[in-house]
Amino acid sequence: MKTTRREFAIGTAASAAASAFSFPCPAIAQTEPIRIGWLAALTGASSAPAIGFDRGVRYAAETINATGGVKGRKIEVTTRDTQGDPTKAVNATQEMISQLKVHAVWGPTNSGESLAITPIMARAKMPNIHPCVIDSLIDPEKFPNAFRTSPSNTQWNDAVRTYCIKVLKVKKVAVIADTTGYGVAAAKYSTEALKKDGADVVYVANIDATQPDMTPDMLRAKNAGAEAIVVWSTSTGMDARMFNTRATMRWDVAFVGHPSMSSGEIKSLLEKPANWEKVYAVGYRSCSYDANGKLPPRNEEFVAQLKGKVELSDTLLWWVAGGVDAINLIAKAVENGSTSPDDIIKYWNSVKKFPGYFGDYTWSPTEHNGYPGDDVVMSDASSAKNGAFKLAPGYS
Amino acid sequence: MLASIIASGLAVGAVYALIGVTYNTMFSASRVMSFTAGQLGMLGGVFGSLFVLRLGLPLVVGLVLMLVCCAIVGLITEFIAVRPVLKSLDQHLYVLSTLALALMIQQVVAVEWSTEPQAFPRVFGTGAGGILDEKFWLPVLTCAVTICALELLYRRTLTGLSFLAIAEDNFAARALGLPERNLRMASYALAGMIGGLAGFSGGQLLLAFVANGPLLNFYGFVPVALGGLGNNRGAIVGGFALGLFQQAANFLVGGIFSSVAVFMLFIAVLLAAPRGLFGGHLARRV
């Protein structure tokens, strides 16, 4: 029998249509891996948190896959190093949405990048969880797909303010921040909130983080009668210089503020280890040692599980725990529904006290800040052990 | 307060002055304002910390290695960023080429070293913490020794006189048979060492920090502009004046306003004396 070109073309089109519409697609969908995009600033400035988070991400994905995955589906994490650059983060986000077709995105890990990519994710309705602190990144109306796993700036501020006024019981406070956009905004907000709560803000300054001598500002704060200094800066150099200057001035004022004051980098910049005493940095109850040197039971067990598998000595426990929680939150959403964006977002909107290692997360359709504010505490900045800190004096 | 202003003002002023001399040394040999001067200062601190603290080498060995490395960076500047644009100086392409190299140095240090400030070793271990701390007087001493050494080099040695000859009149010096290219390279190596010394002597004050590069680039340029381009004495006076003024402004009006005060002084001086306080009069051929 002779086959004409027209018959061949019609036959080919028919079989193509049959393969497209008749084969059981759901079967493929239920065996394909769960694709998670991970936007991580693994190199460049501000890479330390992402390196810690990444250890948690890998550990969680390996653990889930080793036990058979989620409903038989493996977790597949695709990482893109954004180098802390918003432009690179935008490119990586576009790639994840249009080419890699990931089911959910974890990250980025700093607010500058997140400000750039959050509207893009929202337009694509991409389920996104991130640990960035800037308040405006979370808005369930504008960004119904975006959920925060870390505290917001406001929660950090609340913890610092409460510690100064209620625990240290100081009346006169100085607020010192760096000259970055973050530092200026944080100092302004912190000053207003302290005043609102009845504290007397006797001195406010924004200092260039490269300023070699901190004596002028410290002297002004002392002369103004400050009983505690609230610090908002990510610069460890500026922190260390202030601690050294305080010692030179023989002034025993307490420093309370940004988590960078507990960074391991500070140790080598101090003239004496004692200069790091009476420094209280923002920390988390889940990753803090109590008076007996014990973590909360869940994390005591978690650290034991990580031993020999994940290095904790050069990072922070909350970063690793946050990475594990992110993967577990996505896996749980798929387990309770599917990999469709609507199902993932619907699950996250219904989460109540999800038992994570970093915290117990609660989200709702109108509140996407998931971290419990009461768990933001102050830590003794110089007490790092396995990436966790002692609770600052005054907590039980 | 006055003692603190003087101690830290003179110390940072000495570092600025040395960076100003670095600018001038490169400028004299090539008529090029190389924006790698501040990066050389930053590298002095980073190499010092790397060799002495991280690699655990003796201080003197670390100092010598730092000088060698900074001299090499100076030579690379001449070879990559200066030599190719010398024929078209009037187009000011050196601004782009030296800025590009400065940015490359900055990025390499950020990736390979750290973006966070690192500790710098104590040199003599004297006067911990007070205004007599070595971190305050070491840059001043280094600046004084460097100036004396440069004066000896320029006034008492044939090589130094050759440097002055090419700085004075490049074409005439070449016509007399002086090896202009070799002298230019030597000048850049020398500038590298002076910049490195600035960062090394100020290391305890500024720390081994990648962000010091742009900072020193700017604050090192101010004394050059104030003192007159190519004038080392002007750069020294301008550097110390800048350091003292900046520290006084820090104490009196606060950190964020001290930069504004410095800029205002800078603009006011340039309005009053466009060629700098110590700059010569411009001769115009008629």
Indicate the range of A167-181, A286-300, B247-261 predicted with least confidence.
B247-261
Contacts of B206 in chain A (CB under 8 A): 210, 212
Between residues A237 and A58, the one the model is more confident about:
A58
Q: Which two tokens stand for residue A153?
A: 């700036």
Name which CATH class applies to A154-290+378-390.
alpha beta
Between residues A310 and A21, the one the model is more confident about:
A310
Contacts of A46 in chain B (CB under 8 A): 115
Residue A113 has pLDDT above 70, yes or no: yes
Name which CATH class applies to A29-151+299-372.
alpha beta
Between residues B170 and A82, the one the model is more confident about:
A82
Beta bridge partners of A250: none
Rounded to an integer, the average pLDDT of A214-242 is 92
Collect all residues with Cβ–Cβ distance below 8 Å to A75 and sequence separation of at least 6.
A33, A34, A36, A60, A61, A64, A65, A69, A327, A331
**A1: pLDDT confidence band, cut at 50, 70 and 90?**
very low
| pLDDT, position A22 | 45
Domains and CATH numbers, chain B: 2-245 (1.10.3470)
Contact B73, B81 (CB under 8 A): no
Do the two domains A29-151+299-372 and A154-290+378-390 of this chain adopt the same fold? yes
Contacts of B256 in chain A (CB under 8 A): 179, 205-208
Which of A73, A56, A146 lies closest to A331 in space, CA to CA? A73
Contact A248, A214 (CB under 8 A): no
Of the CA atoms within 13 Å of residue B166, those in its CB half-sphere come to 24
| pLDDT, position A23 | 46
| pLDDT, position A110 | 84
User: Phi-psi region for residue A332, left (φ > 0), alpha (ψ -120 to 50) or beta?
Assistant: alpha
**Alpha-carbon gap, residue A293 to A289, rounded angstroms:** 5
**A72: pLDDT confidence band, cut at 50, 70 and 90?**
very high
**A396: pLDDT confidence band, cut at 50, 70 and 90?**
confident
Of the CA atoms within 13 Å of residue A366, those in its CB half-sphere come to 0
First to last CA, chain B: 54
Query: Could you give the ipTM of this predicted complex?
Result: 0.81
Q: Does A83 touch chain B (CB under 8 A)?
A: no
- Determine the residue of chain A that is closest to B203 in CA distance: A212
Chains A, B: CB contacts within 8 A come to 81
Q: Does A250 touch chain B (CB under 8 A)?
A: no
Contact flag B118-A207 (C-beta cutoff 8 Å): no
Contact flag A268-B118 (C-beta cutoff 8 Å): yes
| pLDDT, position A139 | 96
Contacts of B134 in chain A (CB under 8 A): none
Which secondary structure element, helix H or strand E, spans residue B176, and what is its range? none
Residue A149 has pLDDT above 50, yes or no: yes
Ordered by start, the domain boundaries in chain A are: 29-151+299-372, 154-290+378-390
Which residue in B129, B207, B212 is closest to A269 by CB distance? B207
